[in-house]
A and B are shown apart, each in its own frame.
Chain A
Amino acid sequence: MEERNSTEETPRNNALAQRRSKSYRQSMRSCVEATHLAYTSGLLTALRIPRSRKAPKSCDITKQVDPDQVALLVKKEWQLSYVTPLYQFRHTQLKSYSKQLSAFIVSEKQQGLAIEVGQELGFKVNFSVVLGLAETDKDAETVFIQILSKQAFSAKDDAQKVVWSGWLTCVNGDLDYLRSLPLEFVSLPLFCTRGPESLTVLVKSWFEKTFDCCFGPLGINSTNLQWLASLWTGCHPTINIQYLKLVWTLPTLPPMDVTYTVHPQDAWELWDSMRQVDTTEDSISIDEVTGFIKGLQSHFFRHFRIDLSAGSLMQISTALGSSHHSGKIKIASPNYIPTILQLLTECALLKMPI
């Protein structure tokens, strides 16, 4: 299902910025431009799904980004969603958003009780900008949200407990898409959350009401999991990945889960053998990735006579991070954050309805 989506989706449309007008010319123009970017599902769509990527380079992210903020992002498992562009979101208004959201949460929790905005409440919401994650000047800066709860019987200056956190980000988003959006829209397509589902629902609903956007779940399909596996394995010479674990689910009755753990050195050697000599050092092609996974699968077949390609890849993990089919990701090492986020931003942008 997921794969089908990703290949069929042609979410980009330069015409979306076009004025919808009832005149012959403009209507013509918009549909003509649509053909150029959006609806030629064959060739151009294939180009949109990247067939090669830059090899991940270890970079010290803490040089660009506040280490405290990096610490908030790493070593935690995040649930992913995509979100359509936010209308009239302003990075300068974060303080007022904090007040609005906290009042909203309280009023939704206490149906039928009016709440003054800006009052001291049981919840405190913090909006903050994570500067430095954006890679191009079209990328909007990442926004981090924390919900703190006041304990009912705690002392006044007690530290409040973080009950929910989430962030909206865009790293290396497709330039054509971002350029096609009018200025009033801010595209932060990737939304990562952590905390009780009820709060996630409330936060989403507040965003939808305030910025007229829509949220949807973002899964990570097999192809992208394979990408992640390859990218992480490729990092082994710089950072020890310790292990490469892949989980397949085979469509037997009852379904069979296969957990396949590979020694890091073996994985890396297989990956290294797949790397084509003629490709430049810092680019990885999809063929190399599928070759790598095929190699792993054929090895497994030789030993257990089970063809893993009949099943679907559900989960992969290394010491650098883990990722699950249902849209969960954990980044353990700050050094490769931008690579991972770029991949996820791509997935999220592919989900955009227009």
Chain B
Amino acid sequence: MAKASNLTRTDLDSSFESQLSVSSRTSNRSLRVAEKERRKNQTGDPFVLALKYFSEVEAGTPCSGNDVLERNLVLVERVGLSRGLPPEAISVMLDYAMSLRMGGGTCVRVLKFLIPATVVPQEAVVRAVSWLCVGKIAISTQVLFLRWVLTVFDMIDSKDHLRAIYGFIFSFVTEENLSPYICHLLYLLTRRESVRPFRVRKLLDLQTKMGRQPFLLHLLSLYKVFYPELVTLALPSRMRSGFKNHNSTWKVALSAVQKRNKVQVSSDISLTLRLKDKTNSRKRKLNHLELPSLSSSIQSNSSSSRSRKVFSLEQLHSFPQLLDNLHCIELPSQMGSLLGSSLALCYLDYVQDDSAFLRLNFWLGHALHEEFLFCSGDGGSGSSSEALHFLNRLLSTQHFLQEGFSSTEGFLYKFLNVWDGSLLRPQILGLLSDIPVVPSSCISQLLFEPLMQLFFTSTLFFKCSVIDCLNNMLLEWLTWHSVYALEDGLDISLNSHTPMNMTLSGFMDSVMELVRFVGRLATVGLQLEGCHCLLLSFILDFYETVCDMFLKYGLPLVVMPPAGVFYPALFATDPVSVDRLSYIMYRYKKNLTSAKCQQQETKAFHISRQTCQEFNHYLLFMVSCLWNSKMFLPGMAIEVDQELLALSKVPEPWTSFDLIHHPAFLGCALDFHHKCWPERKDIDFNSIKAAKQWNWYMEFLFSQGFQGLQQFVQSSINRRSVAGISGQRGSQPTSR
């Protein structure tokens, strides 16, 4: 028997590629050297001795009643099942078992406890496969071996030699009992170069013989990934689950060993194939919104890249894989499929391929147009949940890429004209706030006119959403400017080969237009809604962005809010709005003063005199109204005839909007009064105006959380001059 096996082995060797046999020999030799080394060190170790026994035992040694064999076998079995076997032991035991030196029974027993502690040397597997070629092993044992290989597949140290004998493994595919396992193994080993027309034909022959077997189809579908021009098939939905697991025999022991050794070699307990499962079983007549599935393209295969190593996105499952294959990734046949995979989007962002983007834009634009504009066939978006899902996905994709697609932009400009303002509002407004900077020459026609119509005819809630959307849009533009303007310096002009020149001033014009537009919307909106505090809050959000454009985003532009926003906020009945307005004024002042400084230093830009005047007007009014109890005086922004005021019979009307009598702070004043003079029954607010109480009252207000007011007071009012009662309490520090 030994003779026979030796003979076949040489036969095999000669039929292998020479390199393979050489390396397998060298590995044998190195193994032997290592053994020798170990023998010197630990001659006494029974485990080593047992391994030595198995590597040296003669073929044909009887196994029944062989105590030595039994003892050694039990020893190795115990180690295997408890700690797992080291690579050399796997190698020795696998060779021993597959050579059938002591018959099939031992072979099965050995295979069952062959639990690797760390890795499986691939040479051991290659040698075992060569034993398989001898053809003496019982079919059931062969199956057991293949199942073992599949179970430990991910622990095999490298697979290149296994791939080198792809043809040998493939030859087993005709064996009826083995072919499910062989197909699975081949599936794991297949590379582009292993797909050959004759193999395709063989598998198709098998298909005609055996019918539509899932394992054949899965292997063929992988072949299709590599060479869609060789084979084509449509997988029915029930066959999408993948290969079965074959790890039942070893699963428990393997996971126990791994837990014990804490190895993070992921033995793939679930080696299932990941095919995109179709979610919509319900067939829509026209499903524009369904993402195409990832599949490799026939186009690029058939041309230049045939010789090149290609990695298709279908096989891409992890980020490290993406990094490893970044140079040879192939774009799928339908770019729309990328929308479903963030890994693929990473790649798309990296390659910056014009035609890829164009393809994606064509697909996306088509889907959006057909669904929302042409509404062909099924009477519009009857399936709004699908549309919702689609737009949400689009939104998250755009956020992932941190920019909007041009087809989305083009679609939105058209859609705004027909939109009712309620269909999928959060999504549409979300997409709208992603659009890139629109040149000032057409911003009004494209964006403002349709938005204005919607704004004035819709509910309060919609108005708030629009202001919020425009705020986000402005934020994106400003962020984009602050990131990219730095690269190019302040003087941004285009390459000479384009006819148009877009400069920093062009960008500023657009921002200016946007801010002014929101100013107009806000003014009318507040009037329409009776200065609703929710709307006011969104408007103040917007101006919080606007007031910091210079300091936060480096854009030399200061735009003041219109009177229609400023006064409603100042006279608001809730303290929060007044507080926020104070904060905004404080930031305006910071921005203006630092812009002024820079202007004097560099003379690079110019803040218009009018803006400063506007600011001073507002500031003057705010201070005299809140602090100095002066109002309605000639020369101020709001003038009312004294006689008319007298007619209203309001006592001391000029005090009615100071920090005590202001409707927003009246409650605080009352509270403060109670705390100061708990015993007093009649309330005299004027007593708060005494210098000491006034200071306390300020501290009290600040302690209520009115940070904006605090910053405003600290920056704009000279508190040292608080000596006088109501005369010269404040002073205006800025007068430009």
B446 at the A interface (CB under 8 A)? yes
Chain A proximity of B490: nearest CB distance (Å): 11
Could you name 30 residue pairs across A and B whose Cβ atoms are closer than 8 Å? Answer: A16-B361, A20-B406, A25-B494, A27-B437, A31-B439, A33-B500, A34-B409, A35-B439, A41-B414, A88-B299, A93-B302, A107-B232, A111-B235, A112-B239, A113-B212, A114-B203, A114-B204, A182-B354, A185-B355, A209-B333, A209-B334, A210-B297, A210-B333, A212-B297, A214-B288, A216-B370, A217-B376, A219-B376, A353-B410, A354-B358
Question: When A40-B445, A353-B407 are in contact, do A107 and B299 touch as well, CB less than 8 Å?
Answer: no
Choose one: A1, A28, A208, A211; the contact of B437 (CB below 8 Å).
A28
Which of B204, B334, B336, B437 has a CB less than 8 Å from the CB of A31? B437
B171 within 8 A of A: no
Within 8 Å by CB of B231, from A25, A112, A117, lies: A117
B residues near A212, Cβ cutoff 8 Å: 297, 333-336, 359, 362-363
User: What residues of chain B lie closer than 8 Å to A23, measured between beta carbons?
Assistant: 484, 487-488
Write out the residue numbers on chain B whose beta carbons fall within 8 Å of the beta carbon of A88: 299-300
Encoded as 1 (CB less than 8 Å from any A CB) or 0, chain B from 173 to 209 comes to 0000000000000000000000000001101100100
Indicate if A63 sits at the interface (CB-CB under 8 A): no
Do the beta carbons of B498 and A29 come within 8 Å of each other?
yes
Q: Contacts of A22 on B, CB cut-off 8 Å?
A: 403, 484
Contact yes or no, B502 A214, CB < 8 A: no
Per-residue contact bits, chain A 86-98, to B (CB 8 Å; 1 contact, 0 not):
0110000100100
* Segment 331-386 of B: residues with Cβ below 8 Å from A: 333-336, 352, 354-355, 357-359, 361-370, 373-377
Q: Decide yes or no whether A42 CB sits under 8 A from chain B.
A: yes
Contacts of B333 in A (CB 8 A): 209-210, 212
Residue of A nearest to B360 (CB): A212
The A-B contact count (CB < 8 A) is 208
Residue among A114, A117, A184, A211 with max Cβ neighbours from chain B (10 Å): A114
Q: Flag if B366 contacts A39 (CB, 8 Å).
A: no
Q: Give the chain A neighbours of B234 by CB distance below 8 A.
A: 107-108, 111-112
Contacts of B498 in A (CB 8 A): 29, 32-33
Q: Which of A16, A33, A103, A351 contacts B232 (CB 8 A)?
A: A103
Complex contact B232–A114 (CB within 8 A): yes
Q: Does B636 contact A (CB under 8 A)?
A: no
Verify A5–B442 contact, CB threshold 8 A.
no
Interchain CB contact under 8 A, A208 and B292 = yes
* Chain B contacts for A42, CB-based, 8 A: 445
B295 within 8 A of A: yes
In the complex, the answer to whether A116 meets B299 with C-beta atoms within 8 Å is: no
Given the complex, which residues of A lie within 8 Å of B374, measured CB to CB?
A: 5, 216, 351
Contacts of B365 in A (CB 8 A): 353-354
For chain A residues 100-147, which have a beta carbon within 8 Å of chain B?
100, 103-104, 107-108, 111-117
> Cβ of A72 < 8 Å from any Cβ of B?
no
Q: A32-B439, A216-B366 are in contact. Are A117 and B354 (CB under 8 A)?
A: no
Give CA–CA (A24, B207) in the complex, Å.
57
Asked if A265 is at the interface (CB within 8 A of a chain B CB), the reply is: no
A115 touches B334 (CB 8 A): no
Shortest CB-to-CB span from A144 to chain B, Å, is 21
The B contact surface, by secondary structure, is helix
Question: Within 8 Å of chain B (Cβ to Cβ): is A15?
Answer: yes
CB pair B410–A96 under 8 Å, yes or no, is no
Q: Considering the chains assembled together, what is the distance between the CA atoms of A37 and B260 in angstroms?
A: 68
A85 is an interface residue with CB less than 8 A from chain B: yes
Highest count of chain B CB atoms <10 Å: which of A4, A85, A116: A116
Interface pair B500/A17, CB less than 8 Å apart: no
Number of interface residues of A (CB under 8 A): 67
Complex alpha-carbon distance, A192 and B507, angstroms: 46
B728 at interface by CB-CB < 8 Å: no
Question: B414 to A29, Cβ gap below 8 A?
Answer: no
- Chain A residues near B125 (CB, 8 Å)? none
Tell yes or no: A13 within 8 A of B by CB.
Answer: yes
**A10 proximal to B (CB < 8 A):** yes
Does A9 reach chain B (CB closer than 8 Å)? yes
Inter-chain CA distance A185–B487, complex, in Å, is: 33
Query: Is the CB–CB distance between A24 and B362 below 8 Å?
Result: no
Closest beta carbon of chain B to A106's beta carbon, Å:
8
Q: Give the residue of B235, B441, B507 whose beta carbon is less than 8 angstroms from that of A35.
A: B441
Most buried by A among B403, B410, B414, B502: B410
Contact A107 B487 (CB under 8 A): no
Q: How far is the CB of A118 from chain B (nearest CB, A)?
A: 8
Give chain B residues whose Cβ lies under 8 Å from the Cβ of A16: 358, 361, 406
Give the distance in Å from the alpha carbon of A350 to the alpha carbon of B656 in the complex.
Answer: 63
Contact of A31 with B235 in the complex, beta carbons under 8 Å:
no
Q: Does A274 contact B (CB under 8 A)?
A: no
Interface size on B, residues (CB 8 A): 85
Once the chains are docked, how many angstroms separate the CA of A33 from the CA of B409? 14
**Residues of A with C-beta under 8 A to B500:** 29, 32-33, 36
A15 CA / B500 CA spacing, docked (Å): 13
**Complex-state Cα separation, A108 to B235, whole angstroms:** 9
Contact at A112–B439, with CB atoms within 8 Å? no
Assess whether B495 is interfacial by the CB under 8 Å rule: yes
A182 surroundings in chain B (CB, below 8 A): 354-355, 358
A5 to B374: give the CA distance in the assembly, Å: 7
Q: Cβ of A100: which chain B residues have Cβ within 8 Å of it? A: 229, 232, 298
The 3 residue pairs across chains A and B that have the minimum distance between CB atoms = A353-B365, A24-B484, A214-B366
Q: Are A19's CB and B410's CB within 8 A?
A: no
Given A20-B406, A114-B216, A104 contacting B232 (CB threshold 8 A): yes
Interface string of B319-339 (1 = CB under 8 A from A): 000000000000001111000
Residue of B nearest to A1 (CB): B375
Known: A15-B406, A20-B357, A208-B334; 8 extra A-B contacts, CB below 8 A, are: A8-B417, A24-B487, A33-B500, A34-B410, A112-B235, A216-B374, A353-B410, A354-B406
- In A27-84, the 8 Å CB interface with B consists of 27-36, 38-42, 84
B-side contacts of A39, CB under 8 Å: 410, 413, 442, 446
By beta carbon, the residue of chain B nearest A35 is B442
CB contacts (< 8 Å) of A210 on chain B: these are 297-299, 333
The CA of A112 and the CA of B214, in the complex, are separated in Å by 9
How would residues 459 to 498 of chain B score, 1 for a CB under 8 Å from any chain A CB and 0 otherwise? Answer: 0000000000000000000001100110110001011001
The interface residues of chain A lying within 8 Å CB-to-CB of B436 are: 27, 31
A21 in the interface (beta carbon within 8 A): yes
Q: Which residues of chain A from 298 to 346 have any CB-CB distance to chain B below 8 Å in the complex?
A: none
- A213 near B: Cβ within 8 Å? yes
Residues of A within 8 A of B411 (CB): 353
Question: In whole angstroms, what is the CA distance A162 to B297 when docked?
Answer: 29
In angstroms, Cα B418 to Cα A25, docked, is 32
> By the criterion CB–CB under 8 Å, are B492 and A19 in contact?
no
Contact A41 B445 (CB under 8 A): yes
Residues of A within 8 A of B230 (CB): 116-117
A188 CB to nearest chain B CB (Å): 14
B370 cross-chain contacts in A, Cβ below 8 A: 216
B94 in contact (CB, < 8 A): no
Q: Is B620 engaged at the interface, CB distance under 8 Å to the other chain?
A: no
Q: Which residues of A contact B217 (CB under 8 A)?
A: 112, 114
| Given known A8-B417, A212-B334, A354-B410, contact A116–B358 (CB-CB < 8 A) | no
**Complex alpha-carbon distance, A108 and B492, angstroms:** 55
The answer to whether A96 and B302 touch (CB under 8 A), given A112-B236, A116-B230, A212-B359, is yes
B residues in contact with A17, CB < 8 Å: 354, 358
B220 interface residue (CB < 8 Å to A):
yes
> What CA separation (Å) do A23 and B506 show in the bound complex?
16
Asked if residues A84 and B445 are in contact (CB atoms below 8 Å), the reply is no
Does B310 make an interface contact (CB < 8 A)? no
B299, B300, B362: the one within 8 Å of A214 (CB): B362
B residues near A219, Cβ cutoff 8 Å = 376
Asked if B233 is at the interface of the complex by the 8 Å CB criterion, the answer is yes
Question: What is the CB-to-nearest-CB distance from A143 to chain B, in angstroms, rounded to a whole number?
Answer: 16
Which chain A residues border B442 with CB–CB below 8 Å?
Answer: 35, 39-40
Chain B residues whose C-beta falls within 8 Å of the C-beta of A93 in the assembled complex: 302
Q: How far is the CB of A16 from chain B (nearest CB, A)?
A: 6
